[in-house]
Amino acid sequence: MIHLFKTCMITAFILGLTWSAPLRAQDQRYISIRNTDTIWLPGNICAYQFRLDNCSGTVNLAT
């Protein structure tokens, strides 16, 4: 009975360690769209231009 209790406690501790790191990483991941605009590319193609902010700087993507 004590052996089963110890095994359950060790398993719970290991699972807690393995689940806590990915959950913390997910909490820190986010990105916000700060500015959108449309631009005309050669060949009469209208494209959206996004300015994204991930709190560590801005990332410019144009497609």
Sequence spans of domains, the chain? 1-30, 31-63
- What number is the average pLDDT over the span 16-22? 61
β-strands 58-62, 32-41 pairing: unpaired
What's the pLDDT score for residue 6? 76
**Distance, CA of 14 to CA of 10 (rounded, Å):** 6
pLDDT at residue number 7? 80
- Rounded CA-CA distance 62/45 in Å is 12
Q: How confident is the model at residue 63 (pLDDT cuts 50, 70, 90)?
A: very low
